[in-house]
Structure 1
Amino acid sequence: MTTAFITLGLFDILDILLVAFLLYQVYMLIKGTVAINIFVGLSLFYLMWLFVRALNMQLLSSILGQFIGVGVIALIIVFQPEIRRFLLLLGTRYNVSQRFNLHNWFALDERGIPDIEIRSVVGACEYMSKTKTGALIVIAKNMDLQSYADTGQILKARVSKNLLETIFFKNSPLHDGAVVWANSRLLAARCILPVSDDTNIPGSLGLRHRAAIGMTQATDSHVITVSEETGNISYVMGGNIKVRISPSELRTFLEGDFSSFII
């Protein structure tokens, strides 16, 4: 009578599928970044440890095991930005803050963005596009952007076309940096945003676009950019960028994403 070398039950198959799914999500998060090289290196290191254990090489296995023992802490340190993005992805996808109505001053209320503000921002972007005035506008959604607002000049001013054009005018002391738009207010100007290290970003996109992509990777905010070189308007969300969009397309995006996104 022979027995199978490996027996697989329903929960074993489910376990394998869940691990495969998690590994795929990790790969998608770090694909195109320098973290993928670190991930491959750590994976090879772990496979080598398994290999020397299988060969019963006690000394080398013990040495490598010491590194494996602190591997979780090392992974948290090395992949801190990616872990943050992964948790943000889970929270955003399942609308945790929306379901429990956890809103604060820096997040949009249940009314979304009023149409008059959308028209003001679109009008300002259209003007800055024609005059090739660089602009970077962050639109808060559910996450608290206080830490980013604190890097700039707090305004708490009502949204208007003229104010945006004045802020980003090249001789204005507030033009260098981003504006944070939250809860019907221009919360702050001249804010510093995290810059994405994604190696797949085209070289034609400059630091302003990299900052926009980095901001949407670190938070659930959406970002509008106007290129100073070409005047092109771009819309960024979830680390994905739509380039060379028209003012009417920008308005459609804003109305679709912010007019009534609260459940």
Structure 2
Amino acid sequence: MSNFIEKYLTVPEIYASDIVEIVIMSVAIYYVVLWFRKSRAWVLLKGIFVLVIFMLVASLFHLTTLLWIFNKTLSAGIIALVIIFQPELRRALEELGRKNVIFKVLKFENGNNESNFSDRSVEEITRATLEMAKAKTGALIVIRQQHDLGQFIETGIKIDGRISSQLLINIFEKNTPLHDGAVIIDENRVVAATCYLPLSDSSSLSKDLGTRHRAGLGISEVSDCIVVIVSEETGSISIAKEGKLIRYADASILKNELIKAQDKEEVKPRRFLKGRGRNEKDVNETKDVSDK
């Protein structure tokens, strides 16, 4: 009896390191479950649970044939899980890398705080976007931040021109050779046009959005860029960043998002065009794709 009490009923000593480990494991498990719930992996995980239940039933009733099959396939099951969950695992690692918490603390990142583009470029991008929205000219503008977009630039046609509203409007003009695809901006230069972007596979994205919006959201999921999207059907302006989509943005929201990308303090917007266009009205709706 004393051995039983000593082995099973005695409260073990708890050290500070044990508490730290419990907290770390709790947070890790919480975020893993949260990640599963937000991705398609949740459906696959439920399928795995069903297989585990079948294995337990087979073990309980001594179904030797089923147990033999499970044992033979278990060794290859781990590799199969990695292959099945490859898109979700890649997205999770990209999301973790996008946080840059450790690198910022250890100063592994480049400490250059200069803006990616000037105030003039902000004005030109905003002016071009509003003009194209007014004319219902479809546009897809990718603004590079820290992550390299070289692989996407290579899919397009090199331009290397200074940012101007006239250049952007001319590129996306209908029936022109360069209007199809995305424009990529790096610092104060339009580096390439007609670039191909990865499409988002988010199931929560509204069905009334087309390929242009899926491409803009897709590139924001795999990099830290900011994407400005103009709908060809409605003329509405959307902004994609960090895997989220802000819809029905007006001039003030667009300009403030570009100013944030400069690592500058947000300022109150001012009108820089005569009159007010349809897209400069109050925001009708700001939708977060992940909240749908």
Instruction: Give the TM-score normalised by the residue count of structure 2.
Output: 0.76
Where does residue 88 of structure 2 map in the other structure?
82
**Structure ID, larger Rg:** 2
Q: Return 5+ residue gaps in structure 1 as ranges.
A: none
Which aligned pairs between 1:145-184 and structure 2 lie closer than 5 A? 145-184=149-188
Where does residue 268 of structure 2 map in the other structure?
none
1:91 has 2:97 as partner: yes
Pick closer, same or farther for the CA change 1:69–1:167 going to 2, 3 Å: same
Q: Give the aligned residue type for 1:70.
A: A
Pick closer, same or farther for the CA change 1:53–1:180 going to 2, 3 Å: farther
Contact (CA 8 Å) 2:116, 2:145: kept in 1 or not?
A: no
Pick closer, same or farther for the CA change 1:148–1:76 going to 2, 3 Å: farther
Pick closer, same or farther for the CA change 1:62–1:201 going to 2, 3 Å: same
Which aligned pairs between 1:60-79 and structure 2 lie closer than 5 A? 60-79=66-85
Match of 2:30 among 8, 14, 21: 21
Contact (CA 8 Å) 2:114, 2:262: kept in 1 or not?
A: no
Pick closer, same or farther for the CA change 1:7–1:122 going to 2, 3 Å: farther
Query: How many Å apart are 1:51 and its aligned residue?
Result: 5.0
In structure 1, distance between residues paired with 2:226 and 2:37: 20
Pick closer, same or farther for the CA change 1:138–1:44 going to 2, 3 Å: farther
Match of 1:101 among 91, 103, 109: 109
Flag the structure with more relative contact order, 1 or 2, with Cα contacts below 8 A and sequence separation at least 6: 1
Pick closer, same or farther for the CA change 1:43–1:175 going to 2, 3 Å: farther
Partner SS, residue 225 of structure 1: strand
In structure 2, distance between residues paired with 1:39 and 1:49: 15
1:125 has 2:129 as partner: yes
Cα-Cα RMSD: 2.9
1:208 has 2:212 as partner: yes
1:231 has 2:239 as partner: no
In structure 1, distance between residues paired with 2:143 and 2:101: 17
Moved more, 75-84 or 223-232: 75-84
Pick closer, same or farther for the CA change 1:185–1:48 going to 2, 3 Å: farther
Q: Give the aligned residue type for 1:90.
A: L
In structure 1, distance between residues paired with 2:52 and 2:162: 55
1:250 has 2:254 as partner: yes
Partner SS, residue 191 of structure 2: strand
- Aligned residues, how many? 254
Contact (CA 8 Å) 2:238, 2:245: kept in 1 or not?
A: yes
Where does residue 37 of structure 1 map in the other structure?
43
Taking only the aligned residue pairs, the percentage that are identical comes to 33
Where does residue 139 of structure 1 map in the other structure?
143
Map Cα deviations across residues 232-251 of structure 1 (whole Å, 9 max, x no partner): 00011122111011012100
Instruction: Give the TM-score normalised by the residue count of structure 1.
Output: 0.83
Where does residue 224 of structure 2 map in the other structure?
220
Partner SS, residue 140 of structure 2: strand
Map Cα deviations across residues 4-45 of structure 1 (whole Å, 9 max, x no partner): 499886468447514522422422551xx4x44333323433
